[in-house]
Structure 1
């Protein structure tokens, strides 16, 4: 399962990926699916799935990454997915394959850690790989004692793992992991030497607890695990706020921690710049954890994600351009802190040399000139991304209106 090469850049209107229904129509249908799925996953009697196109199912499942738990909920309730039966089965099979791949990576890392005495904690979705209804994983994230990380990377290389990208020779303050490592047909392994959104003064590995089903691996302490999931979803990746897979993962962390400790963890986040958004996400996860369907607080953001997933031109953008587009979309429809973070990103000083040879040469001659050119290029790229975000946001608003 090799990470895909970045697709070529292209621009265009909101043309559908499939050549069928428009992105607005597919997004509206996907929003109806989302409302129904929240009921199913929350244990509410939601009945059979709404009648929507198979393409809408594909868009919904691609964004929400919840095929396995949703299919399990349908079977338990004895309801049907209608035109989405085949799409749901196919997506669930793909998610299950990624889960099996991640489990195999855990076995490899566990064997290495047991043999060498390395302190390694499995993060985020990797903690739930053995759950009865496993959740989709895109990679396996590990937090490794910085003293052990070079030896682990060397051991992975000796085992045939290749680097996807380059490690920073001198990691900057915003860097927190090495380039992903991968074997063909497996999910990548991402080795973290710190967790960017967590307090660097907290000894997360020192407080970590054994990971069930392994000989030597750890997981973050339950309260740290919950805080990490919340901060990663809300602050680090705002496009994942309200994504069903992430809400289910956080709900599992809430169940494992228990209500009194969850309340204490929530209180510790009250002073965070994203306190309101963290509170919304935690509230929805608590409702799911207790078997209730939460209110959907993310319809506009979900609609934008569906529109982007259904638009052919977005799929043809390079990875960097997609990230810039996503940042601009969610800064526009998010909160004031999202917009402040975007503004700071425009002017942040780069902590490593440019990957563009001409800029790297200029920086080597004059750091000030090189920094000025990089900032100018960055502003121009984000200005283009902001212009491209406008039709996506307008389409999301229209999709939300049609879905009502």
Structure 2
């Protein structure tokens, strides 16, 4: 088999260095010397340039400094865009009786943080409040992108700003979460209870999106959530995830986030997942796939790597508890719910097989890359 491409191997070394930097109270060490391509690959996948710039910016020079600075600027632009969207949403939430809850990565920004990088902004509302917010955004010039899903309306977007996803339900959590929402600082926008927020981000990052297992950007969001959660909330989360089918992967994701939050050394149980993402990103960029083919190829690769880790991807199975937005399936749910669930499960599982040869190739290459990275690190230590 051919050796692992240098950008992928370099990205794995950078990930190891970044985790040592983030999971330690000691001063950061200089990063490994890798190519500009390796830096770009690592930063595209891990999405942590702002945090690394803050923690280790003084140690970077040359290619490393240029790469981190460039990605940090891009992440900063997204943060500024998200803040602008939050101000617009706050205006809508200021109307009497309207309750809007900011979800996931928007929560740290709402609480005054400087990150993380956001691709979109998620907000939760009742059916009536979600419709009112959607109408307000439409009136302000936002356009629809794609169709609605079982748990959200069609995405709203406007040029120059990150999109807004308006949710009417939270996959994996019950409507009881509404009884525990709370204000965020002086904003009219709300946030989930700390335990509900942590549990949702865990489910979203480790179950619904298997490629985000151990991703540094998601660990930072979880770490911020842990810093706002007391011991009771953390124990509640631990008890809740212990009852999940993928309890092991959820516990490992939580443990890594705890190490980041407490700045204590941590292992990396998701290095194989990261290697798969690096390889898949590189391969799909080389093949220049677009649209549905790109999406299916990515899902096939991620699913194949997840199977190698012993924790297969769920591919959105938490969403199966919610009604489908597709009318024929919604009708089938009313007459034969077991058949509706079977059809939706087959559709989701079918994505794993769409590009099966690619997935198997990436999974095997990811295992080889992890072995090579460990061997090269051991030789350096000697």
Q: TM-score, normalised by structure 1?
A: 0.80
Number of the residue aligned with 1:18: none
**SS across alignment from 1:217:** strand
TM superposition shift of 1:323: 4.5
Distance 1:375 1:313 in 2: 31
Aligned to 2:40: 58
Following superposition, the deviation at residue 51 of structure 1 comes to 0.4
Map Cα deviations across residues 261-305 of structure 1 (whole Å, 9 max, x no partner): 312321222111111111111111111111113111111110000
Q: What's the offset of the Cα at 1:257?
A: 0.4
Query: Would the aligned equivalents of 1:234 and 1:240 in 2 still touch at CA under 8 Å?
Result: yes
Displacement of 1:382: 4.0
The ranges of structure 1 where at least 4 consecutive aligned residues each deviate by more than 6 angstroms after the TM superposition are: 341-345, 371-380
Q: Shift in Å at residue 235 of structure 1? A: 1.2
Which has the bigger relative contact order, CA under 8 A and spacing at least 6? Answer: 1
Aligned pairs for 1:228-243 within 5 A: 228-243=200-215
Equivalent position to 2:64, from 79, 84, 87: 84
- Distance verdict in 2 for CA 1:50–1:181, change over 3 Å: same
Give the CA deviation at 1:47. 1.4
Q: Could you tell me how far apart the structure 2 residues matched to 1:94 and 1:213 are?
A: 28
Deviations 1:17-36 (A, max 9, x none): xxxxx863211110100010
The answer on whether the counterparts of 1:325 and 1:388 sit within 8 Å (CA) in structure 2 is yes
Summarize deviations over 1:240-277 as a string: whole Å, max 9, x none: 00000111111111111033431232122211111111
User: Do the aligned partners of 2:184 and 2:191 also contact (CA within 8 Å) in 1?
Assistant: yes
* Correspondences of 1:231-310 after superposition (within 5 Å): 231-310=203-282
- Residue 23 of structure 1 contacts residue 310 of structure 1 at CA under 8 Å; is this kept in 2? no
Does the alignment pair 1:106 with 2:78? no
Give the 3 Å change call, closer, same or farther, for CA 105–259 of structure 1 in structure 2: same
Corresponding residue of 1:196: 171
Secondary structure, aligned partner of 1:147: helix
Summarize the Cα distance change of 1:291–1:127 in structure 2 as closer, same or farther, 3 Å threshold. Answer: same
Partner of 2:377: none
Please give the secondary structure, in 2, of the residue aligned with 1:257. Answer: coil
Query: Are 1:331 and 1:342, in contact at CA under 8 Å, matched by a contact in 2?
Result: no
**Number of residues of Structure 1 aligned to a counterpart in Structure 2:** 356
Deviation at 1:187, TM superposition (A): 0.5
Once the two structures are superposed, residues 92-134 of structure 1 have per-residue CA deviations (whole angstroms, 9 ceiling, x without a partner) of 0000100100100010011111035311000011011154442
Greater Cα offset, 202-211 or 180-189: 202-211
Q: Distance in 1 between matches of 2:214 and 2:342?
A: 37
For the structure 1 residues 326 and 206, does the alpha-carbon distance in structure 2 shift closer, same or farther, using more than 3 Å as the test? farther
CA contact (8 A) 2:194 2:233 kept: no
Give 1:402's match in structure 2, choosing from 354, 365, 372. 372
For 1:344 and 1:248, locate their aligned partners in 2 and report how far apart those are by CA, in whole Å.
23
Question: Any conservation in 2 of the 1:29–1:52 contact (CA below 8 Å)?
Answer: yes
Matches within 5 A, 1:147-226: 147-167=128-148, 175-198=150-173, 200=174, 202-214=175-187, 216-226=188-198
What is the RMSD computed on CA atoms of the aligned residues? 3.1
Cα deviation, 1:143-200, whole Å, max 9, x if unaligned, reads: 11112211211111001111111236xxxxxx111121011011000000001122x3
Structure 1 residue 321: Cα displacement: 1.8
CA shift in 2, pair 1:177/1:150, >3 Å: same
Aligned partner of 2:19 in structure 1 is 38
Contact 1:327 1:342 in 2 (8 A): no
In the alignment, structure 1 segments of 5+ residues that lack a partner are 1-13, 15-21, 169-174, 355-370
1:309 touches 1:315 (CA, 8 Å); kept in 2? no
Match of 1:143 among 117, 124, 136: 124
- CA-CA distance at 1:56 after TM superposition: 0.4
2:98 aligned with 1:124? no
The DSSP-based 3-state class of the residue aligned with 1:88 is: helix
Give, in angstroms, the shift of residue 376 of structure 1. Answer: 9.1
Cα 1:165–1:290 shift into 2, 3 Å: same
| Contact 2:303 2:312 (8 Å CA) reproduced | no
**Equivalent residue number for residue 10 of structure 1:** none
**Using a 3 Å threshold, how does the CA distance of structure 1 residues 342 and 208 change in structure 2: closer, same or farther?**
closer
The structure-2 alpha-carbon separation of the partners of 1:323 and 1:51, relative to structure 1 and needing over 3 Å to count, comes to closer
Distance in 2 (CA, whole Å) between partners of 1:164 and 1:194 is: 19
Residue 350 of structure 1: how far off its partner (Å)? 7.2
Cα deviation for residue 46 of structure 1 reads: 4.2
- Give the whole-Å Cα distance in 2 for the aligned partners of 1:353 and 1:96: 40
